[in-house]
């Protein structure tokens, strides 16, 4: 995937969309990348043109901006592409060219262990959403209906937090 993102970033503005909220990025493979904040020199600049002060130490890299589907991130990305002179810096990742895949099987967690881990790590809104979803069938349309009706301030990232612990296999 790194090869594709790099190739696309040589010609176009490209971003990586994470479904989990920013505070959980360190629990994903994103933790193996270097995080920096970049600026764009002009409107619609390809990723290879993005600038960051420390780059003299990291030659031949193409940073990949990272965002979630939350309105603040989307707004920042649109401003970054459309009018970089007024936008803030954008978080971006530099992936290592070759990452050894280390196979380390995770222990199977009981539902009680998952709940304890979720409660310790989840955002307050994700925890509220999980409590509401405990009494519903776990199908995406029903989950989104519960979310929209009973917890309208929740966003996609809160539902993704729930999926990480309870819907996907551990």
Q: Could you state, in order of their start, the residue ranges of all structural domains in the chain? A: 2-94, 111-167
> Which residue, among 156, 110, 152, has the nearest Cα to 132 in the 3D structure?
152
User: Structure pTM?
Assistant: 0.64
Q: Per-residue pLDDT tens for 74-122?
A: 888 888 888 887 667 888 888 776 545 545 556 677 878 888 888 888 8
Q: Per-residue pLDDT tens for 14-64?
A: 999 988 877 777 777 788 888 888 888 888 889 888 888 666 445 678 899
Q: What is the DSSP letter of 114?
A: H
Instruction: For the beta carbon of residue 81, count every other beta carbon within 10 angstroms.
Output: 17
pLDDT at 15: 92
């Amino acid at each position: 995937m790194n090869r594709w993102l790099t190739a696309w970033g040589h010609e176009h503005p490209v971003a990586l969309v994470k479904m989990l909220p920013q505070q959980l990025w360190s629990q994903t493979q994103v933790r193996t990348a270097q995080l920096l904040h970049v600026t764009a020199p002009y409107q619609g600049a390809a990723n290879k043109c993005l600038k960051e002060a420390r780059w003299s130490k990291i030659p031949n890299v193409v940073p990949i901006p990272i965002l979630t589907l939350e309105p603040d991130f989307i707004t920042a990305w649109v401003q970054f592409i459309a009018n970089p002179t007024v936008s803030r810096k954008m978080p971006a990742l530099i992936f290592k060219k070759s990452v050894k895949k280390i196979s380390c099987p995770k222990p199977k967690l009981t539902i009680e262990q998952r709940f304890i881990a979720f409660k310790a790590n989840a955002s307050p809104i994700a925890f509220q959403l999980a409590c509401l979803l405990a009494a519903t069938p776990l199908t995406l349309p029903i989950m989104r209906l519960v979310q929209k009706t009973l917890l309208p301030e929740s966003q996609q990232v809160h539902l993704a937090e729930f999926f990480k612990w309870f819907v996907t296999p551990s």
